[in-house]
Amino acid sequence: MTIELSDAQLERYARHVILDEVGEEGQARLLAARVLVVGAGGLGAPVLLYLAAAGIGHLTIADADTVELSNLQRQVIHSTETIGHPKAESARAAIARLDPDLQVTALLERVTAANAARLVGAHDIVVDGTDNFAARYLLNDACYFARVPLVSAALLRFEGQISTYKAHEPGENRPCYRCLFRSPPPPDLVPRCEQAGIFGAVAGVVGTMQATEVLKEILGLGESLAGTLLLYDALGATVRRLKARRDPECPLCGTNPTIRDLSAHA
Give the 3-state secondary structure of 2-64: CCCCCHHHHHHCHHHHCCCCCHHHHHHHHHHCEEEEECCCCCHHHHHHHHHHHCCCEEEEECC
pLDDT of res. 53: 98
Neighbours of 257 (CB within 10 A): 13
Q: Tell me if 3 is assigned to some domain.
A: no
Q: Tell me if 97 is assigned to some domain.
A: yes
Domain total for the chain?
1
Q: Tell me if 24 is assigned to some domain.
A: no
Q: Tell me if 12 is assigned to some domain.
A: no
- Read off the pLDDT band of 1 (50, 70, 90): low
Taking only the tens place, the pLDDT of each residue in 44-61 is 999 999 999 999 999 999
Q: Tell me if 13 is assigned to some domain.
A: no
Q: Check which CATH number belongs to the domain holding 215 and give it.
A: 3.40.50.720
Q: Tell me if 20 is assigned to some domain.
A: no
pLDDT of res. 171: 85
Long-range CB contacts (< 8 A, 24+ apart) of 167-173?
167/246, 167/252, 167/253, 168/143, 168/144, 168/253, 169/226, 171/246, 172/245, 172/246, 173/226, 173/227, 173/243, 173/244, 173/245, 173/246
Structural domain span for residue 248: 33-265
